[in-house]
Homo-oligomer: A and B are copies of this chain.
Amino acid sequence: MATGRTHRPATRSRGIPEATVARLPLYLRALTALSERSVPTVSSEELAAAAGVNSAKLRKDFSYLGSYGTRGVGYDVEYLVYQISRELGLTQDWPVVIVGIGNLGAALANYGGFASRGFRVAALIDADPGMAGKPVAGIPVQHTDELEKIIQDNGVSIGVIATPAGAAQQVCDRLVAAGVTSILNFAPTVLNVPEGVDVRKVDLSIELQILAFHEQRKAGEEAAAEAAVPAAARKESTDQGPDGDVPAVMPA
């Protein structure tokens, strides 16, 4: 789900596939764990297992970065950690603002994974004047009025939106206008952004719905397969009684 690829078709080695980029953080995490255990080298097979991917895929992914392995031995853990970090841009400091300090926003502010990888919470912003000044995760919340100034003063290019859905687009527009070019959106809305701005969305509700789909499919197959031998564990979850929200509309 990359952005519009209207630019040049990646002339040279700079053509790292999006799918590969999405896996690099996974490798990095596994490698960091190995590094902390002072493991000097690792084979593609081992690392792939740790990252939960296919070893051939991992090797191909690494091949996009360069030939960093040694045949017959594997990959140097420390060196690979550095290469991936550099490729992901984690060797530099990324100031981040979080907008919308509700339950989720506060949780994000407290999340340790931020600081661990070059991401620094530059500011917490909320529209509620009552929140202003109140410290969350050791950082005083600032009012939305300050948004533009904060972004410009801190050179922020990454913004996190954790507001209610209704406010998300408006916040997004202001972030973009102030210079933010990457947005992580937790609000359940489709954000409209101009060319050149990246948006990634995290939507809890969608994830659950996808799980429900597969869950239903599993239940259906199971029921069809063992129609005469129902699972003993089943209590009363399969009853269609509480189907309160029935169609109310008939097919044409």
| Residues of chain A whose beta carbon lies under 8 Å from any beta carbon of chain B | 2-3, 7, 13-14, 21-22, 24-26, 28-30, 50-52, 68, 70, 76, 78-79, 82, 85, 87-96, 102-104, 106-108, 110-111, 113-114, 116-119, 152-155, 157-158, 179, 181-184, 188, 190, 192, 196, 198, 200, 202-218, 220-221, 233-237, 240, 242-243, 245-252
Contacts and interface: CB of A to CB of B under 8 A. Distances in A.
Nearest to A185: B207
24 contacts: A13-B213, A21-B210, A26-B190, A26-B206, A29-B188, A30-B190, A68-B251, A82-B247, A88-B216, A94-B212, A104-B107, A111-B204, A117-B209, A152-B233, A153-B235, A155-B234, A157-B215, A157-B237, A158-B208, A158-B212, A182-B212, A182-B215, A196-B218, A202-B207
A65 to B, nearest CB: 12
B207 A200 contact: yes
A178 to B, nearest CB: 9
A211 B190 contact: no
B89 A216 contact: yes
Nearest to A51: B190
Secondary structure at the A interface, as helix, strand, loop or mixed, is mixed
B251 A213 contact: no
Assembly of this chain: how many copies? Answer: 2
B76 A213 contact: no
A205 B113 contact: yes
